[in-house]
């Protein structure tokens, strides 16, 4: 009787915690309560491990100290970007500033990389030309052809006296971190760090979630050049999941004052993992490049306010007046994002959503398709990319405003991952991104309302069941 009573008390306490936990949407609360009541032992354990977006008190305190120690990135007066902006753009920049504290800065330029291999070649060339320092973060870094090229460039730079700091996620890059190449880089003088070490999973219950990840992809060379986009440090063949290859990514090589914001994001991430003061690298003024455009880093994560990334996405969607084109590998939207996309199409905006036809996550692929009927009924054009796994994360509004980076339209990016994106306003750069998006569309099949309506009952049950489970993940 004592054990039975204890069992009910634990389950009841867990249910109370689920109901009282702040920053959970009602669907997520209901899903967790039902899971806990249906399978009590598994449900309680799952909630302890995965139910709360907690980064741990000690880590939170450490991040607070880092924020106080690091200076702000260089600020510019409001009139410096007034000529390039508008009330609509200003409102979007205000959303971005409220998330990661960065003001928009003028005078930036970018080059859209031709493909994944070209991106790696450009990064290697910039590392080989570095005179002072190289800082980089990758969620996934593989010891394959492209991964080794970057590692060897870092080793060459370190040997000639350039300070190189390289960080990889402890889960996403676990094979590299445990490989001889990682030790070779360390012996060559490259300073290395693992982001969010897992350690003992059971002990991590008491020190934050075990699946918090640094999903960012950042390269900063000499504080003057940065890269931003969706690409990990790997071959397009992507050996871990080769059957979905090629992985199709997009990256911008950027110069201008916004580089300092990317530098600050890197510095904070590095200081969280390594006891080293990086404040000397932050706050350096970079003169705006004549003819450049305004941009802003939007860096999100569990230590930023809740629902920051969905707010950014939703604000951009509602800003669209004529055209909205979105590419993402993982579409598991919040209700607000789904409603915003449907509302955009209903008010006459031409909305195109491009997703991979074959997803490396069967669960996510099924969940995404559960939203197709509503999207199509609103007039959204859905395309499924065929040649490989479309991994590009892009959003272009009216051919003038773009968001590009690492964040997906899914719950992991919204709640659990540290992400890095750049919001920019420039017709020429948006035209280049739109041309790339059009190339995806040309290699994609159109999904029709008739096709979705013809799906079998079993298939629709599977899609909707996956979507119901989504809020607890």
Q: For residues 139 and 411, give the distance between their C-alpha atoms in angstroms, rounded to a whole number.
A: 17
Among the listed residues 72, 117, 211, 222, the single catalytic one is 222
Query: Does 68 participate in catalysis according to the annotation?
Result: no
Whether the Cβ atoms of residue 124 and residue 153 lie closer than 8 Å to each other: yes
Q: Is 420 in contact with 265 (CB distance < 8 Å)? A: yes
Average pLDDT, the chain: 90
Number of Cβ within 10 Å of residue 115's Cβ equals: 16
In the annotation, is 183 catalytic? no
> Residue 229 pairs with which residues in a beta bridge?
251
Given the residues 135, 149, 391, 463, select the one marked as catalytic.
Answer: 391
**Active-site residue flag, 149:** no
According to DSSP H, which parts of 160-288 are helical?
A: 174-177, 180-187, 201-204, 258-273
Whether 398 is catalytic = yes
pLDDT the model gives residue 2:
78
Q: Judge contact between 324 and 344, C-beta under 8 A.
A: yes
Reply yes or no on whether 222 is catalytic.
yes
pLDDT at 346: 98
Catalytic residue among 217, 360, 415, 463: 217
- Is residue 316 within 8 Å of 328, Cβ to Cβ? no
Q: Tell me the whole-structure pTM to 2 decimals.
A: 0.91
Other C-beta atoms closer than 10 Å to the C-beta of 7 total 13
Cβ atoms of 233 and 122 closer than 8 Å:
no
Whether the CB-CB separation of 182 and 210 falls below 8 Å is answered with: no
Inter-residue contact 461 to 399 (CB < 8 Å): no
For the stretch 440-462, pLDDT in tens is: 999 999 999 999 999 999 999 89
Cis peptide before 43 (omega within 30 of 0): no
Cβ burial 425-464 (10 Å sphere, 16+ → b, else e): bbeebbebbbebbeebeebbeebeeeebeeeeeeeeebbe
pLDDT, tens digit only, all 473 positions of the chain: 777 777 668 778 877 887 887 666 677 777 777 778 777 777 777 777 666 666 667 777 777 888 888 887 656 555 555 545 677 899 999 999 999 899 999 999 999 999 999 999 999 999 999 999 999 999 999 999 999 999 999 999 999 999 999 999 999 999 999 999 999 999 999 999 999 887 665 555 556 667 789 999 999 999 999 999 999 999 999 887 888 889 999 999 999 999 999 999 999 999 999 999 999 999 788 899 999 999 999 999 988 887 899 999 999 999 999 999 999 999 999 999 999 999 999 999 999 999 999 999 999 999 999 999 999 999 999 999 999 999 999 999 999 999 999 999 998 899 889 999 999 999 999 999 999 999 999 999 999 999 999 999 999 989 988 887 766 65
Residue ranges of alpha helices (H) inside 294-359 are 308-319, 335-346
Q: Is 217 a catalytic residue?
A: yes
Close Cβ partners of 420 (under 8 Å, ≥ 6 residues apart): 216, 217, 218, 228, 262, 265, 297, 298, 299, 405, 406
Q: Are 2 and 445 in contact (CB under 8 A)?
A: no
**DSSP class per residue in 60-91:** HHHHHHHHHHSPPPP---THHHHTT--HHHHH
């Amino acid at each position: 009787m004592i054990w039975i009573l204890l069992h009910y008390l634990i389950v009841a306490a867990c249910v109370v915690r689920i109901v009282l936990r702040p920053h959970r949407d009602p669907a997520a609360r209901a899903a967790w309560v039902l899971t806990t009541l249906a399978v009590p032992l598994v449900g309680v354990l799952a909630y302890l491990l995965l139910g709360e977006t907690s980064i741990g008190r000690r880590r939170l305190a450490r991040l607070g100290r880092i924020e106080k120690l690091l200076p702000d990135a260089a600020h510019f007066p409001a009139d410096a970007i007034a000529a390039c902006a508008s009330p609509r753009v200003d409102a979007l920049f205000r959303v971005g500033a409220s998330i990661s504290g960065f003001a928009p800065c003028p005078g930036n330029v970018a080059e859209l990389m031709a493909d994944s291999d070209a991106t790696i070649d450009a990064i290697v060339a910039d590392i080989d030309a570095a005179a002072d320092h190289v800082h980089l973060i990758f969620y996934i870094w593989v010891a394959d052809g492209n991964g080794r090229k970057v590692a060897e460039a870092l080793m060459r730079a370190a040997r000639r006296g350039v300070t190189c700091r390289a960080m990889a996620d402890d889960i996403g890059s676990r094979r590299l971190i445990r490989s001889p190449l990682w030790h070779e880089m360390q012996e060559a003088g490259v300073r290395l760090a693992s982001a969010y070490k897992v350690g003992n999973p059971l002990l991590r219950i008491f020190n934050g979630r075990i699946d918090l990840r640094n999903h960012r992809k950042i390269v900063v060379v000499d504080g003057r050049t940065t890269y931003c986009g969706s690409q990990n440090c790997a071959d397009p063949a992507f050996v871990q999941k080769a059957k979905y290859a090629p992985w199709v990514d997009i990256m911008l090589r950027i110069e201008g004052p916004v580089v300092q914001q990317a530098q600050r994001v890197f510095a904070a991430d590095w200081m969280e993992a390594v006891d080293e003061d990086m404040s000397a690298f932050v706050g350096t003024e970079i003169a705006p490049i004549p003819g450049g455009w305004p941009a802003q880093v939007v860096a999100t994560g569990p230590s930023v306010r809740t629902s920051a990334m969905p707010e950014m996405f939703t604000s951009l969607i509602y800003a669209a007046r004529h055209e909205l084109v979105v590419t993402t590998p993982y579409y598991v939207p919040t209700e607000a994002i789904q409603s915003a996309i449907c509302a955009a199409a209903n008010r006459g905006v031409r909305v195109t959503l491009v997703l991979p036809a074959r997803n490396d996550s069967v669960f996510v692929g099924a969940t995404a398709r559960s939203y197709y009927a509503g999207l199509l009924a609103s007039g959204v054009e859905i395309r499924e990319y065929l040649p490989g796994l479309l991994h590009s994360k892009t959003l272009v509004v009216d051919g003038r405003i773009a968001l590009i980076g690492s964040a997906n339209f899914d719950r992991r990016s919204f709640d659990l991952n540290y992400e890095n994106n750049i919001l920019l306003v420039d017709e020429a750069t948006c035209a280049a991104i739109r041309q790339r998006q059009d190339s995806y569309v040309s290699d994609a099949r159109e999904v029709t309302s008739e096709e979705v309506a013809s799906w079998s009952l079993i298939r629709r049950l599977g899609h909707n069941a996956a979507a119901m489970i989504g809020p607890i993940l």
